[in-house]
Amino acid sequence: MLNLIDYPNIRKKLVSKIIDLAYLSKEGHIPSSLSILDILYYLYSEIINSDNKFFLSKGHAAIGLYVILNEFGFISDDILYTFCKYDSLLGGHPTSKIPGVEASTGSLGHGMPIAAGVAISQKIKQQSGKVFCLIGDGESNEGTIWETALLASQHKLNNFFCILDHNHSTDRALVMDSYIDKFDSFGWNTYSMNGHDMYDITYIFKNILKEENNQKPTFILANTIKGYGIPIMENNPEWHHKIPNEINHKEIIKEILK
């Protein structure tokens, strides 16, 4: 159960683990993991269960997912700290062999179609569960994202929820106009939230899940900051796949815990 008062301290612990894992393994996409961390924590705290499924389509942010799976008891500390070691269960992208992971993802644009397929399956089987998928804004340059958006609307997948991590990764390659307008034109219900404000995240999801007689899939634009909470990383493309050295590591951990 989410405790909004305690969450800032919980977040510090989770961010410290992300930094430590990347430093020890010399692998991982830290800023991309930090931009989705608050959303993941809310989903696994309040929504994801045996009925409701989650798919991390932007699989390169796996290190963020792994610390969440560890926090909620899917994987142990012993497994977590094998990240990217030889024969580890935890690679640079998540796979379905990992407890709590529904599908292997990471090839951009593939997770959302898989998630939509599961949503269709649940409707055919008349199951009550919901399907949540988190995609990246850079990932939205993939055509499969928009093909899935059309398909989900056509099949009235009111059990399907797509969250877009709008951390502006795409801006250096392809500047997109309003995602809200685009998904609205594709026949989706659309919402926007601050992806780092747990109160806003809570408000949006509680209101979305209360809706009745909805016959559309739901799109949520999460406005985020890449590298959120670590000043030297925030909106700095140099850190996209950069690993802290010993000096960086000590300075970053000090900054997190102050």
- pLDDT surpasses 90 at 216: yes
189-194 and 218-223 strand pairing: parallel
Q: What is the predicted pLDDT for the residue at 3?
A: 87
Percent pLDDT > 90 in the chain is: 90
- pLDDT surpasses 80 at 213: no
pTM: predicted TM-score of the whole model, two decimal places: 0.96
Contact between 111 and 58 under an 8 Å Cβ cutoff? The reply is yes
Contact between 31 and 221 under an 8 Å Cβ cutoff? The reply is no
* CATH number of the 7-257 domain: 3.40.50.970
What is d(CA 24, CA 80) in angstroms, rounded to the nearest whole number? 12
- pLDDT surpasses 80 at 166: yes
DSSP 131: E
The mean predicted confidence, pLDDT, of the chain is 95
- pLDDT surpasses 80 at 91: yes
Average pLDDT over residues 66-79: 97
Q: What is the predicted pLDDT for the residue at 202?
A: 96
pLDDT tens for 10-67 read: 999 999 999 999 999 999 999 999 999 999 999 999 999 999 999 999 999 999 999 9
Q: Which tokens go with 60?
A: 């390169």
Where residue 210 falls among pLDDT bands split at 50, 70, 90?
confident
- pLDDT surpasses 70 at 212: no
Q: What is the predicted pLDDT for the residue at 23?
A: 96
Distances (CA, A) of 191 to 115, 207, 218, 220: 19, 10, 8, 5
Q: Which tokens go with 53?
A: 């499924």
Percent pLDDT > 70 in the chain is: 99
Q: What is the predicted pLDDT for the residue at 204?
A: 96
What is d(CA 10, CA 5) in angstroms, rounded to the nearest whole number? 10
What is d(CA 24, CA 205) in angstroms, rounded to the nearest whole number? 35
Q: Which tokens go with 208?
A: 């979305």
- pLDDT surpasses 70 at 97: yes
pLDDT tens for 113-151 read: 999 999 999 999 999 999 999 999 999 999 999 999 999
DSSP 82: T
Q: Name which residue leads in pLDDT, 236 or 173.
A: 236
Helix residue ranges, H only, the chain: 7-25, 30-46, 62-71, 77-80, 111-124, 143-154, 179-185, 198-210, 246-257
- pLDDT surpasses 80 at 1: no
